[in-house]
Structure 1
């Protein structure tokens, strides 16, 4: 085959790849390799295509062939890392991507971002934050990268003041489209250009249109905490309109139920910020409630366009948005004590009677079993939180608990622990602080919800991570009978456990210091009679508590909505919105 013919085939292969004709492109690269099997770039390109075609074994073989020919070639390591990540082999993914960076330190933002996500999943939050720093430096205009970095910072032991400063930077970069609160000069460097006036009628007692903006109208967060918003709302006084960021194809039975119960429903994942803001404004929303913050899929930059006269953030993120266009953040006096925590937020904190959320127990939960220690002969501490919350500080905290309860075991469960490399790394971290790895039970992914909940029946006492407490995991833990020991910190993420334990009437399990945390956990482990009594009464305790009182919660939330609406009406009447 002549060089001219080879050149034509290469152009055809690239054209087919660019046009998405992957099978054709793969065939063309095979023809090229039949003539030039020593071309590492051709093997790499074939590997990339096979990966797109969801043929991981063939893709990996092609990428490794490229590396045999050129060991210093960075691109196949990027591809192999992607294949490992797709197969939940997170340890291998980190090693491959790190190798690619060593070979070419000028890697793009996408690789740094993926490395950050993977390290975060493995419980390496500090390393993840550094990767996100690099990704953000390369993509300074991408709010998704900035939000992911901010989410990661919550796992670190940083002060509320430092975190607020970091969040304000987001507003400086992405909140300048429409300025801050209506009638005010934006803080932190955002544009002071006034927002477009709203046509909403400033009637303090009218039926309010509440808009909820979320990706969680589904089983995960929705089934646990959003159900009261639909089933217990005062429909004569409040109208509910949902803006679902969730791709339509990813909905489930809960999505359908929420859609049927809403007064209005908009699938908005495909809309850009301007179109989404225009839709919300056209719908006449009085109070727009963001349920994401900087977590997951969010539309925070859109809030800078001020589509609603009153904008609120709640539930989905354990910190301030940092945005002056968000007026209020809903918390409680335990999660955010009056005084110090007010300096951690740009928003005005609205404190509901604790707790700041309401839990709908999962219908699929199996019965609570008798104390597991009775069958195993030893108390088992446990945490089902994401590994990203298990920082070095948390490991040190739990290591002290295990030193004081020398016969006890520790069970950790999170999907990444299905990866042998990630599990080995977690054991090594505990070994480094003197904990025998044989005292750890590591559990990975359990597919069905009932099986996941049944795994809680293996733990006697739950340990809350610090400084980022559990929320859904804490509610599940309590519903499955295990009391939780938590350390109350100085900011919201580190005080959610205190809020939940106070709500169910067990404030004595909330520690003010690390030493007290270890003492409470060890004392509880040494009193099996008390532990059994707590366990067998826990489900009824939770059911009867403020944590599950949906009517109480919704009346408090709706009272807050009415009060902040009246404030807007007062401002409109006095001209302070001009």
Structure 2
């Protein structure tokens, strides 16, 4: 190839600008054509191969994109950007590869933006490396301190670690100091509410959530619609859920609500104004710091009474949120009150109500009868399986030498993540051959049927299961749980007490292992428990929707009366 002349270089620079403009404007076909034209002139330019890879990834042609990015690395091995692209290509089903690529990009260029540090933290959290993930979120937060999404993700991650409730409260308060304040450090102005302070009026309850869909909605939100006393309460939903993720349950909730707002496109000021205009008396946040949330908006106090419940195993840390709904088992009176900014409102246990999945297959006889050995199991996220949980479960397996342990979570579909999980247990003295690792099962019925492979469920600590525990019990596997000192570590105790099995709640790690081993050693008791467990759950407080809703509505009414009293004395905004 002849050397480029000065005019050639000018023409090439012009083409590069056009290609970048086309990519930035989303004209991907044009951008691809321009980059291919540029590469025909200079096929040794690593930056052009990288940019072509970006375009091809945007055009949903991952194999071609990866080939272009690898060409860039062949030409320039110390180039960080192709590693970023390759990591993005791997994210989803090749988590170990994503970690390796993104880590390499950071090694080559430590001054990466917060997005890469954040994404790497998400992947490492998914793989069960919560402590490492927390450090990455720290870095992302230091680079972009004004992004509440990063701050919330970091707080969520901290719940997986064995930290005291007081430390977690301090971290959550810091969120309020940063995002509950205005830029000048002052609180948003207290705007009086126009709501009529009538203690007995029909209340407008607003539910703010991303979960008006099958995942959480089908399990725990259905009673809010179907068992509500509509003569005394009306329901308005504020759905953060992007329309692309709406499903049949979304449509059902929408049809049952008295009012429905899809609010993902609204900024905080507009959303707060909408809630005020709707005359909401009690606004219930169902997200906390998990997933998509609108917590900074709550600092504007759009409703007279603001509550957080269900979607997050901790408080918000925000002074604008007055209440958090729990129960006396999940949050014993006294110590746990010191872990929250919000006033803890304790319903008669449990603090939630479970609607069993209609797609659940029948409970089968004890799997140990067919396999000849007890199988312990957990379907919780790997992020909950901390080193402390691995040690706890390793002790159970040591006491029951012929038992197996089945773990199921989507990231286990990635061979690298599965190998890492085996290595973690091997380091704790567990033969990896004793592990059965199950990844993603697409259909809900197939997922639930997988529970029929376990005899006894083991709850992680200090972040217990919730949906997984309810599923486990419904599918006939009793759960052993360790009760800790904060809410996330006491949800298992709440649920097991609610179904009448408090004897499976341990106060110490040694007792946890002993309960699990004793249960594994008495197959007659285990079979009896298994075959009666679904009916036990069905008849328990956990599934009593009418009882739960009357208790919840009583709590709402008491909160409202307190606001009315404050309004009468001029203490409310």
Q: State the TM-score, normalized to the length of structure 2.
A: 0.98
The separation in 1 between residues aligned to 2:288 and 2:548, in whole angstroms, is 21
Match of 1:70 among 64, 76, 95: 76
Match of 1:48 among 41, 45, 54: 54
2:13 matches 1:7: yes
Residue in 1 that maps onto 2:32: 26
2:198 matches 1:198: no
Match of 1:310 among 305, 312, 320: 305
Describe the shift of the 1:258–1:28 C-alpha distance in structure 2 as closer, same or farther (beyond 3 A). Answer: same
The separation in 2 between residues aligned to 1:78 and 1:26, in whole angstroms, is 19
Residues 319-398 of structure 1: pairs in structure 2 closer than 5 A: 319-398=314-393
Whether the 8 Å CA contact 1:175–1:190 is kept in 2: the answer is no
The separation in 1 between residues aligned to 2:244 and 2:72, in whole angstroms, is 37
Match of 1:229 among 224, 228, 234: 224
Residue in 1 that maps onto 2:478: 483
The separation in 2 between residues aligned to 1:258 and 1:191, in whole angstroms, is 38
After superposition, the C-alpha distances for 1:55-78 in whole angstroms (9 at most, x for unaligned) are 110010000000001111111000
Describe the shift of the 1:501–1:407 C-alpha distance in structure 2 as closer, same or farther (beyond 3 A). Answer: same
Residue in 1 that maps onto 2:408: 413
Q: Secondary structure, in 3 states, of the residue corresponding to 1:149?
A: helix
Residues 256-267 of structure 1: pairs in structure 2 closer than 5 A: 256-267=251-262
After superposition, the C-alpha distances for 1:3-22 in whole angstroms (9 at most, x for unaligned) are 12212211111111111111
Residue in 2 that maps onto 1:440: 435
Describe the shift of the 1:242–1:470 C-alpha distance in structure 2 as closer, same or farther (beyond 3 A). Answer: same
Match of 1:176 among 181, 195, 199: 181
Residue in 1 that maps onto 2:135: 130
Whether the 8 Å CA contact 1:243–1:267 is kept in 2: the answer is yes
C-alpha RMSD over aligned residues: 1.0
Whether the 8 Å CA contact 2:188–2:300 is kept in 1: the answer is no
The separation in 2 between residues aligned to 1:149 and 1:193, in whole angstroms, is 25
The separation in 1 between residues aligned to 2:373 and 2:176, in whole angstroms, is 51
Residue in 2 that maps onto 1:186: none
Residues 32-181 of structure 1: pairs in structure 2 closer than 5 A: 32-86=38-92, 88-177=93-182
Q: State the TM-score, normalized to the length of structure 1.
A: 0.97
After superposition, the C-alpha distances for 1:523-542 in whole angstroms (9 at most, x for unaligned) are 10000000000000000000
Q: Secondary structure, in 3 states, of the residue corresponding to 2:485?
A: coil
The separation in 1 between residues aligned to 2:61 and 2:159, in whole angstroms, is 37
Q: Secondary structure, in 3 states, of the residue corresponding to 2:237?
A: strand
Report the CA distance between 1:269 and its aligned residue. 0.8
Match of 1:211 among 206, 209, 213: 206
Report the CA distance between 1:177 and its aligned residue. 3.9
Report the CA distance between 1:191 and its aligned residue. 3.2
After superposition, the C-alpha distances for 1:317-351 in whole angstroms (9 at most, x for unaligned) are 00010000000000000000000000000000000
The separation in 2 between residues aligned to 1:191 and 1:122, in whole angstroms, is 40
Report the CA distance between 1:176 and its aligned residue. 1.2
The separation in 1 between residues aligned to 2:515 and 2:373, in whole angstroms, is 17
Q: Secondary structure, in 3 states, of the residue corresponding to 2:169?
A: helix
The separation in 2 between residues aligned to 1:480 and 1:454, in whole angstroms, is 8
The separation in 2 between residues aligned to 1:407 and 1:226, in whole angstroms, is 41
Report the CA distance between 1:249 and its aligned residue. 2.4
The separation in 2 between residues aligned to 1:547 and 1:278, in whole angstroms, is 37
Q: Secondary structure, in 3 states, of the residue corresponding to 2:462?
A: coil
The separation in 2 between residues aligned to 1:386 and 1:525, in whole angstroms, is 24
Residue in 1 that maps onto 2:448: 453
Report the CA distance between 1:192 and its aligned residue. 4.7
Report the CA distance between 1:577 and its aligned residue. 2.0
Whether the 8 Å CA contact 1:177–1:305 is kept in 2: the answer is no
The separation in 2 between residues aligned to 1:190 and 1:152, in whole angstroms, is 27
After superposition, the C-alpha distances for 1:2-58 in whole angstroms (9 at most, x for unaligned) are 212212211111111111111110111111111111100001000111111111100
The separation in 2 between residues aligned to 1:416 and 1:426, in whole angstroms, is 10
Q: Secondary structure, in 3 states, of the residue corresponding to 1:62?
A: helix
Q: Which runs of 4+ in 1 moved over 2 A?
A: 189-194
The separation in 2 between residues aligned to 1:16 and 1:318, in whole angstroms, is 45
Residue in 2 that maps onto 1:568: 563
